[in-house]
A and B are shown apart, each in its own frame.
Chain A
């Protein structure tokens, strides 16, 4: 990375920045918001560990709530690359927490798409930010991908052998249609999270001078 003098205060709000050089302040912001994002997601999904039934609630809830720090983070993104680095950090932590490697790839791809949306909104558009959060949230489909990639192993396991009629039903059920429903649910939760984040930005953070 080059070390050309970057102005610490960037008052320019009109021009989209394509420059990839990060100032120290940018990097600190990425680290801080990634930590807040992870703590919020972990806190909420931890409730899902207690009972598998709660996952139905905690899964969309964690996406919605994590939209709040994410939208605040986006107000501090002044140029390209920051959203992707944020995703690399989150994906790295989840990789160490036992998520499949394919989930890491999905996260980074989702972040690149989000980056493209933000760029289209010139890094200033509120609706682009909300949409970008919804797209970034699609990384939540990653952890389930092993079942979808390798259904044969799951359905030939002892579990399914014992209940063949159930295995067939599951197999019919866990197909494209469910995958798309899951994707759609994730995306909608992401949109809701983005909207909630934008609303709270207006209600609290802008007033407090944090946005």
Chain B
């Protein structure tokens, strides 16, 4: 939870989509630096220090693999690694901006933003169920893995010898216990009005403000800068 008011959730969603579109599209390589700056800036602003340090390190390492290593030591195998790193580099930048959205937006704020956009109820409601449910399934997954470890079923050799059995032992209990938790969750959510045809009101309705305007200006400046400073048509 953010301790102080942040950006409007809608601004964050648009920012993630815009950065992903810019970085992943044809000739998107020139936006990588700007996207990284934006992601690190958001992390610092949000005081997520670990992300502010790890993200540039990861991007730097990928960039080294993608551009520097092949120059020093040209080799076909390294070429494959370099191509992969170039793709991974783009992923990391888009993910960096996405992590800001995930870390600072609660499911309620997100569904309020979706309602403000008049996104159909089917998508809004199921999204909030999924977001509420993801951590529960993750917890169940660790519990199932612990139980498997206790019975000595997680050994690499046993898994390789009977791969289908290993899959079965992990997924079947995971799905069964998740569904049981899900039934309870669904019942309580429906009692509190989930899926009702009425439009719910929000404690913190999404509003665009000065912060969002400043953010938009920064993004525009970064985008213009990367277009102008890029060495010719990529």
Q: Which residues of B sit under 8 angstroms from A9, Cβ to Cβ?
A: none
Docked-complex contact A1 and B121, CB < 8 angstroms: yes
Q: Which residues of A sit under 8 angstroms from B102, Cβ to Cβ?
A: 96
Docked-complex contact A35 and B29, CB < 8 angstroms: no
For the A-B complex, the count of residue pairs with Cβ-Cβ distances under 8 Å equals 199
Docked-complex contact A210 and B179, CB < 8 angstroms: yes
A64 → chain B, closest Cβ, in Å?
A: 8
Of all chain B residues, which has the CB nearest A38? B134
Task: Judge if A196 is at the interface, Cβ distance under 8 Å.
Answer: yes
Docked-complex contact A31 and B128, CB < 8 angstroms: yes
Given A28-B189, A150-B26, A101 and B21 contact (CB-CB distance below 8 Å): yes
Query: Interface with A: B42-50, B90-98, B204-212, B213-221, which one?
Result: B90-98
A59-93 vs B, Cβ < 8 Å mask (1 yes, 0 no): 00000110011001000000001000110110011
Of all chain A residues, which has the CB nearest B13? A96
Of all chain A residues, which has the CB nearest B180? A210
Q: Give the complex CA separation of A25 and B132 in angstroms.
A: 15
Q: Which residues of B sit under 8 angstroms from A89, Cβ to Cβ?
A: 123, 126-127, 130
A168 → chain B, closest Cβ, in Å?
A: 11
**Contact partner, A200, options B17, B101, B168, B179, Cβ 8 Å:** B168
Contact residues, B80-97 vs A (CB, 8 A): 80-84, 86-87, 90-95
Docked-complex contact B76 and A65, CB < 8 angstroms: no
Docked-complex contact A95 and B70, CB < 8 angstroms: no
Q: Give the complex CA separation of A69 and B94 in angstroms.
A: 28
Contact residues, A16-42 vs B (CB, 8 A): 22-25, 27-28, 30-32, 34-36, 38-40
Q: Which residues of A sit under 8 angstroms from B87, Cβ to Cβ?
A: 144, 146-147
Contact residues, B129-182 vs A (CB, 8 A): 129-130, 132-134, 136-138, 141, 164, 167-168, 171-172, 174-176, 178-179, 182
Task: Judge if A50 is at the interface, Cβ distance under 8 Å.
Answer: no
Docked-complex contact A72 and B175, CB < 8 angstroms: yes
Q: Which residues of A sit under 8 angstroms from B66, Cβ to Cβ?
A: 157-159
Besides A32-B185, A159-B79, A200-B171, 20 more A-B contacts (Cβ < 8 Å) are A1-B121, A1-B197, A28-B126, A28-B190, A30-B122, A35-B129, A35-B137, A38-B130, A39-B141, A43-B141, A69-B175, A92-B127, A97-B95, A98-B93, A100-B90, A101-B21, A154-B83, A159-B66, A166-B76, A208-B176
Question: Can you list 30 residue pairs at the A/B interface with Cβ under 8 Å?
Answer: A3-B197, A27-B125, A28-B194, A31-B129, A31-B132, A32-B130, A32-B186, A35-B130, A36-B174, A39-B174, A68-B171, A72-B175, A85-B126, A93-B130, A97-B98, A98-B90, A98-B91, A98-B93, A98-B95, A147-B83, A153-B234, A154-B83, A157-B29, A159-B70, A159-B79, A160-B79, A166-B74, A167-B79, A204-B176, A205-B176
